[in-house]
């Protein structure tokens, strides 16, 4: 472990909220713990396997996350790549569950996974202190799902994972579905029914230009407005009030109050003004926006022996420079230097 002395954190004074230069308070950290993935979803990856970026030791993620927490991060989501491929994830969750915010509260701990290995991990992760999980699922029928993931047997594995997560008490359990026109948008109504029948929150996400290949176009995006209209034709929706101002999903229930769906619309209704996130990549770089053109090498500084105080100051400076917003769909838009799977979605 590099030179930063973790005991020094407890001696530091409470820091004012981590804030960027646009006045947004940053309290949400997404940490990728590997950029490897066992799926090759056609809209995400070109099909190349394996890691493109190095992984840190589990204790190194713990050290870096602890510094963010000392600065006001209250929510940590583990992601990837596929985080369940990462050896040591249960121990990492155990360590994170022990951490306390400066106000003495436990962290809000979450996981985003493709669910393929969740059947065997749900219970150990829950015992380790994980509270909730989000499972990605882009179709509700097996052949369509397996065409997307390019992995035979993936649909039944993920369904078993979802049920194991529910039985283990991971709550809320959310299912995220990225919709692409002419590709899986015929699944919208099936997902609405799944939300009601399986008692899970289904969230549709607009497709962003973050794929490895070149698939994105404005026309391929299925917008919030269209999703609401399509579901509403068979199952009228009622919008629910936002629970907190940085919530990314617009939430809806059905006319009879049974079930919930959410729509995350970063393209048609960008929510950058309420963004509360920063990301740490699997190789320890801070990204202040999914669409950042630059990364900030926090791990490099840990390795060269910077003190906790220096690392804290670096994080504060970096967060201050967070981009005002993304520029999807605008002339001159530049794709970010990494695709979603290598950033951590
Ligand atoms: N392997 C995990 C999983 O499948 O949830 C975590 C990483 S994955 C990159 C996280 C989420 O990003 C998934 O829900 C995936 O569908 C979504 N995603 C990938 N590419 C995307 C894109 N271009 N636009 C929007 N969401 C995307």
Choice from 165, 178, 223 to test ligand 1 binding pocket (greatest atom count within 8 A of CB): 178
Residue 37 Cβ inside 6 Å of ligand 1? The answer reads yes
How far does residue 324's CA lie from ligand 1's centre (Å)?
23
Residue 341 Cβ inside 6 Å of ligand 1? The answer reads yes
Question: Model's pTM, two decimal places?
Answer: 0.94
Res 8: pLDDT: 45
* Tens-digit pLDDT profile for residues 156-178: 999 999 999 999 999 999 999 99
Nearest alpha carbon, ligand 1 atom 2: 113
Q: Are strands 296-297 and 285-287 parallel, antiparallel or unpaired?
A: antiparallel
Q: What H or E segment, with its residue span, contains residue 163?
A: helix 154-168
How far does residue 239's CA lie from ligand 1's centre (Å)?
25
Residue 110 Cβ inside 6 Å of ligand 1? The answer reads no
* Tens-digit pLDDT profile for residues 266-311: 999 999 999 999 999 999 999 999 999 999 999 999 999 999 999 9
Res 231: pLDDT: 94
Residue 311 Cβ inside 6 Å of ligand 1? The answer reads no
How far does residue 212's CA lie from ligand 1's centre (Å)?
12
Res 262: pLDDT: 96
Q: Does the N-terminal peptide bond of residue 172 adopt cis geometry, omega within 30 degrees of 0?
A: yes
Q: Digits of tens for pLDDT over the chain (345 positions)?
A: 444 444 444 444 566 899 999 999 999 999 999 999 999 999 999 877 789 999 999 999 999 999 999 999 999 999 999 999 999 999 999 999 999 999 999 999 999 999 999 999 999 999 999 999 999 999 999 999 999 999 999 999 999 999 999 999 999 999 999 999 999 999 999 999 999 888 889 999 999 999 998 899 999 999 999 999 999 999 999 999 988 877 889 999 999 999 999 999 999 999 999 999 999 999 999 999 999 999 999 999 999 999 999 999 999 999 999 999 999 999 889 999 899 999 998
How far does residue 331's CA lie from ligand 1's centre (Å)?
25
107: left (phi over 0), alpha (psi -120 to 50) or beta: beta
Q: Angle formed by the axes of helices 89-98 and 58-70, to 10°? A: 30
Give the integer Cα–Cα distance in Å for 216 and 43.
9
Whole-angstrom CA distances from 287 to 30, 55, 174, 277 are 10, 16, 25, 9
238: left (phi over 0), alpha (psi -120 to 50) or beta: beta
């Amino acid at each position: 472990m590099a030179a930063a002395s973790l005991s020094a954190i407890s001696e530091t004074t409470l820091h004012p909220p981590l804030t960027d230069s646009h006045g947004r308070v940053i309290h949400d950290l997404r940490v990728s713990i590997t950029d490897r993935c066992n799926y090759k979803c056609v809209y995400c990856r070109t099909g190349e396997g394996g890691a493109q970026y190095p992984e840190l030791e589990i204790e190194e993620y713990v050290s870096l996350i602890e510094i963010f927490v000392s600065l006001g991060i209250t929510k940590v989501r583990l992601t990837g790549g596929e985080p369940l491929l990462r050896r040591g994830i249960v121990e990492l969750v155990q360590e994170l569950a022990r951490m306390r915010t400066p106000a003495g509260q436990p962290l809000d701990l979450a996981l985003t996974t493709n669910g393929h290995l969740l059947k065997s991990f749900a219970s150990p992760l829950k015992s380790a202190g994980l509270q909730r999980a989000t499972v990605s699922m882009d179709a509700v029928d097996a052949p369509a799902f397996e065409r997307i993931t390019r992995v035979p047997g993936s649909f039944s594995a993920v369904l078993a994972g979802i049920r194991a997560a529910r039985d283990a008490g991971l709550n809320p359990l959310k299912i995220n579905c990225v919709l692409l026109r002419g590709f899986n948008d015929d699944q919208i109504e099936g997902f609405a029914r799944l939300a009601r029948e399986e008692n899970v929150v289904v969230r549709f996400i607009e497709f962003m230009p973050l794929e490895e290949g070149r698939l994105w176009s404005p026309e391929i995006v299925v917008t919030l407005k269209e999703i609401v209209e399509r579901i509403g034709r068979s199952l009228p929706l009622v919008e629910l009030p936002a629970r907190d101002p940085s919530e990314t999903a617009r939430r809806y229930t059905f006319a009879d109050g049974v079930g919930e769906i959410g729509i995350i619309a970063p393209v048609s209704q960008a929510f950058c003004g309420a963004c509360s996130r920063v990301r740490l990549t699997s190789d320890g770089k801070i990204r202040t926006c999914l669409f950042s053109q630059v990364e900030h090498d926090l791990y490099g500084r840990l390795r060269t022996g910077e003190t906790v105080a220096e690392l804290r100051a670096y994080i504060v400076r970096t967060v201050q420079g967070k981009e005002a917003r993304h520029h999807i769909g605008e002339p001159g838009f530049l794709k970010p230097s990494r695709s979603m799977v290598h950033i951590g979605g």
